[in-house]
A = this chain, B = another copy of it.
Amino acid sequence: MSSLSGRKKSIPQLAERTSGVANPSRRQLLTTGLAVGAGAAMAGLQARPAAAAGDPAITEVQDWNRYLGDGVDARPYGTPSQYEEHVVRRNVAWLTADPVSSVNFTPLHELDGIITPNGLCFERHHAGIADVDPAKHRLMIDGLVDTPLVFTMEDLKRFPRENKVYFLECAANSGMEWRGAQLNGCQFTHGMVHCVVYTGVKLRTILEEAGVKTSGKWLLAEGADASAMSRSIPMEKALDDCMVAFKMNGEALRPEQGYPLRLVVPGWEGNMWVKWLRRLEVGDKPWHHREETSKYTDLLANGKARRFTWVMDVKSVITNPSPQAPVTHGRGPLVISGLAWSGNGTVKRVDVSIDGGRNWKTARIDGPSLDKALHRFYLDIDWDGSELLLQSRAMDEHGYVQPTKNELRLARGENSIYHNNGIQTWYVKADGVVENVEVS
């Protein structure tokens, strides 16, 4: 179909077209000094006036309109451009003993908006990706219910359903920052978060179908993978906003996200969003299973551990610029962009500092502000080319403000790997290179 391989000639079409147009004086006049804020963003843009004679940037070959491309039969299920091959989830080989019980990370620095594409949602498994046949999969409800029930996938799709946008964050996200590991990029420091649209049935609906007994105060959710992942969930949360979901971003759940069925526990740590969900048991007390005792508890400095720390508190991170996404242009307009989220609801405000927390500007939140979803923020500045210490600080709808890492350490010590929602700092050098640092 395609004749892409037939490209040979170098005819600078666009450059020809633009020859002899205008002069750059207006643009040059607009190269101004430092001015922080959206209104000033365009003032110093380095956009090229058309036909600046001999500008190599506009005399390069652009011959793609000389060849027919692939047709509509080429890719029944589409894939990204060949020029985007670097935009992938990445794992860290030394982090765990085996990739079947490990994590890979969302490339936050390559994304924008609030939706994570399904192919780039981070994964965390405890026994690899279960390969479940949806025709054979079942969800059972048993325990303290009037009528134990077993549902096929088709059964579940006959209940009224809903669509909700929620972030999912692993409790261990940013965990290596407690002791200052300073991994080189927001993909690794903050990439255990994603945000998609879930389609499914309210957990409340199927619990009511089985009939929860008065003594039923807790719910055990159990997965069908080889780790038989299980977590205790208080009934109040189960009856509030939890879902059993079968679709993400419109299509079926991806295998690594629990295909064909996962529990959605909005705002709470990702470990509780049991994948390959096969059983819900109603009980009168929590089960104290491995993932809520030995793991997913927060060991304090005094040797005691915080338990049932389910909510992911308000948090934010600047995704651009960041260590994997340095500034590659000179001074002038610079878009500072990032993500904020809160397990307690919406994010009300995000402030950004370019000087390590001495001064703050309120960023612009763009796109919908949805309950327990990622929020996208921007601060458009006119960069003067000097070094920056970038920080973001989010505040949720209840007024809770994201703490510094040192404030967290004072309160909880450095034993834990979970629930680090401290403020992140990126050091932007004059040459645009960015490093993960801490400011005291």
Answer yes or no: A94 CB below 8 A from chain B CBs.
no
Complexed CA–CA distance, A249 and B254 (Å): 16
Out of B226, B250, B364, which one reaches A116, CB within 8 Å? B250
Answer yes or no: A400 CB below 8 A from chain B CBs.
no
Q: How far is the CB of A289 from chain B (nearest CB, A)?
A: 15
Q: How far is the CB of A371 from chain B (nearest CB, A)?
A: 12
Asked if A42 contacts B254 (CB within 8 A), the reply is no
Chain A residues numbered 8-37 whose CB sits less than 8 Å from any CB in chain B? 14, 17-18, 21-22, 24, 26-27
The copy count of this chain in the complex is 2
Q: How far is the CB of A97 from chain B (nearest CB, A)?
A: 11
Q: How far is the CB of A74 from chain B (nearest CB, A)?
A: 7
Count of chain A residues near B, Cβ 8 A: 144
Answer yes or no: A440 CB below 8 A from chain B CBs.
no
Asked if B77 contacts A89 (CB within 8 A), the reply is yes
Asked if B46 contacts A155 (CB within 8 A), the reply is yes
Q: Given the interface contacts A99-B1, A148-B18, does A68 sit within 8 Å of B127 by beta carbon?
A: yes
Q: How far is the CB of A216 from chain B (nearest CB, A)?
A: 15
Q: Which of A166-174, A330-338, A349-357 lies at the binding interface?
A: A330-338
Q: How far is the CB of A274 from chain B (nearest CB, A)?
A: 13
Answer yes or no: A290 CB below 8 A from chain B CBs.
no
Answer yes or no: A303 CB below 8 A from chain B CBs.
no
Asked if A155 contacts B249 (CB within 8 A), the reply is no
Asked if B88 contacts A14 (CB within 8 A), the reply is no
Complexed CA–CA distance, A47 and B117 (Å): 33
> Please, could you name 21 A-B residue pairs with CB atoms under 8 Å apart, sorted by A?
A42-B160, A46-B155, A47-B151, A50-B148, A57-B150, A57-B152, A60-B136, A62-B136, A71-B128, A76-B89, A79-B254, A80-B255, A81-B254, A112-B163, A112-B247, A115-B115, A120-B250, A161-B335, A162-B366, A249-B249, A368-B368
Name A residues whose Cβ lies closer than 8 Å to a Cβ of B. Answer: 1-2, 4, 14, 17-18, 21-22, 24, 26-27, 38, 41-42, 45-51, 57-58, 60-62, 64-84, 87-91, 98-100, 102-104, 110-121, 123-125, 127-138, 140-142, 146-152, 154-155, 157-164, 197, 199, 205, 208-209, 211, 223-226, 228, 247, 249-256, 259-260, 276, 278-279, 328-329, 332-335, 364, 366-368, 370, 376, 378, 380
